[in-house]
Amino acid sequence: MKIVIIGGVAGGATAAARIRRLDEQAQITVFERSGHVSYANCGLPYYIGGVIGDPEELTLQTPESFFSRFRVTMKVKHEVTAIHPDRKAVSVKNLENGEEFEESYDKLILSPGAKPTQPEIPGAGLETLFTLRTVEDTFRIKEYVEKNHPKSAVLAGGGFIGLELAENLRGLGMDVTIVQRPKQLMNPFDPDMAVFIHGEMRKHGIKLALGRTVEGFARTKDGVDVLLKDGKPLHADMVVLAIGVTPDTRLAKDAGLELGIKDSILVNDRMETSVPDIYAVGDAVQVKHYVTGKDALISLAGPANRQGRVAADNVCGGDSRYPGSLGSSVIKVFDMTAAATGINETAAKKAGIDADKVVLSPLSHAGYYPGGKVMTMKVVFEKETYRLLGAQIVGYEGVDKRIDVLATAICAGLSAKGLKDLDLAYAPPYSSAKDPVNMAGFMIDNLSKGILKQFHLEDVPSLPADGSVTLLDVRTVFEYGRGHVEGFRNIPVDELRERLGEIEPGKPVYVMCQSGLRSYVATRILAGNGFDCYNFSGGFRFYDAVTHDRGLVENAYPCGMNR
């Protein structure tokens, strides 16, 4: 059997290696138009910043090592220019000598990936304007930085590449500004969780121009101006476009394959395209989202690798299925870690799902063991069914562990209430006996039983100010004095039982503390004494962070705060 694979990196290289492990006799050829057949895309920003010092560390396999191990012919700097399904052949051009030829196949796997989105705006071709997707892109940026020693950079786009590159350029001493059309960084996160990422970026000197649209670029004698809609231009020595990627599917389109979102390649769960004996994997394909079941584009290395394995199994006569993509991701943001899985609250509402959430701020490990740090967790679930939809965590140690547990729970079909029953590893340096994931489960279980009733950040502005409800802050007098939400009176939780007479009976009581734990204790005291009470999800710490983030809409939460 003769197999041709177009494109290496995650999907194509994985498929090639898997086919060889399943079929020692198969003839496998991979055509890759770049000079590198298998490289670490996710490590590219860290090479530019010098964290990864040796460029060879970016190359996971070479054509020689791949042939030595797997007897797979890797032809780099060979571009496939056309697919001919009628005669099961591809046209190929050798980019080094210009030679053109045809290669036949029995089975064809497309792994063309995605290309940086290039807006058609004035100045898009300037030599000081870069994109970052391939090793060649990386070397171009690295060479420019080492040769010209730029003092400033503007990054258009606030996703994974934008944030990672911003950190690395900042580490080189540059003045860095991120311009982003949405009013937040990192779309996998809800706005109320993205604020913690904003804070960490600003803490390290990154300037954020959120809610701003780039309209073009203009060369100047000492750099480039980034032209903004309804705003003054931003001047910099260099600009990097990191506004996202677009499926690179010209070949598939020209060959008559059915296409989907943004001209991505339509495949079934066997990774088969609409044309017999042609498969497709990676960033170029449309998949089903694991949670919503809806069509999606998810450009991540993990899904691409798994899709390559599925395609390889089926090429070799198996019957493997790809269940869909969950979109689990994690990113280093200077000293902080941010991670997400499934869908966020914003996406759930757009999908028409009646969603609820819990927000909590647990320590990364046991409080009595030195060095524990607070993380902020938001777990999203479907009302009534308690189906687990997704989660977001921002913090320091242990973030990746918890998000992976939650991703596993979603894939296993565990309900949000079931998080309380997970038997997770515990030792004081690593966790608490009640792990943060368990704590989220306890909270959701309490909600399901009516033991806990919540109110959220978006509810605060509409709380009556006419005295028909009681607004109660149960932190210490010192904490309350440092800042509180206007209208909330202070009775510390440890004094609450002795001061119940100060709370008018018959009125609903809305309770707040620093993180939501003491206020939960207070609601149980109040409920035990006949009060109808609600706990503020996330606590004052969460409220304070969100309402003071400059990336969000001005006066989005106009209830006010006394400091």
Helix, strand, coil fractions of the chain, as percent rounded to 5: 30, 30, 40
Q: What is the number of residues in the chain?
A: 563
Closest among 48, 214, 17, 21 to 111, alpha carbons compared: 17
56 contact partners, CB below 8 Å, separation of at least 6: none
Distances (CA, A) of 498 to 11, 490, 492: 65, 14, 11
**In the block, residue with structure tokens 């210009």:** 98
**In the block, residue with structure tokens 């779309």:** 187
Containing 32, the helix (H) or strand (E) segment is strand 27-32
Q: Are strands 388-395 and 509-512 parallel, antiparallel or unpaired?
A: unpaired
Q: Which residues pair with 246 in a beta bridge?
A: 115
SS3 456: coil
Distance, in Å, from the CA atom of 504 to the CA atom of 520, rounded to the nearest integer, reads 19
* Token pair of 217 as six digits: 């670029």
| Alpha helix positions (H), 255-398 | 301-315, 345-350
167 contact partners, CB below 8 Å, separation of at least 6: 45, 49, 204, 206, 332, 333, 334
Q: Are strands 265-266 and 285-288 parallel, antiparallel or unpaired?
A: parallel
Taking residue 559's Cβ as centre, other Cβ atoms within 10 Å add up to 16
Distance in angstroms between the alpha carbons of the first and the last residue of the chain: 73
Containing 60, the helix (H) or strand (E) segment is strand 59-61
Distances (CA, A) of 22 to 2, 17, 313: 14, 9, 8
Distances (CA, A) of 322 to 267, 286, 288, 331, 484: 10, 12, 9, 25, 50
Question: Is 335:399 a contact under the CB 8 Å cutoff?
Answer: no
Distance, in Å, from the CA atom of 306 to the CA atom of 485, rounded to the nearest integer, reads 48
Distance, in Å, from the CA atom of 520 to the CA atom of 512, rounded to the nearest integer, reads 8
Q: Are strands 107-110 and 223-228 parallel, antiparallel or unpaired?
A: unpaired
Whether 42 is a known active-site residue: answer yes
Q: Are strands 454-455 and 533-536 parallel, antiparallel or unpaired?
A: parallel
Closest among 13, 66, 22, 20 to 40, alpha carbons compared: 13
Q: Which residues pair with 272 in a beta bridge?
A: 279
* Token pair of 83 as six digits: 């697919």
Instruction: Extract the runs of DSSP E, i.e. beta strands, from 159-271.
Output: 175-180, 207-210, 214-220, 223-228, 234-236, 238-241, 245-247, 265-266
Instruction: Extract the runs of DSSP E, i.e. beta strands, from 317-398.
Output: 329-333, 336-342, 355-360, 376-382, 388-395
| Catalytic hit among 42, 513, 533, 559 | 42
Query: Which of the 8 DSSP states describes residue 501?
Result: G
Residues catalogued as catalytic? 42
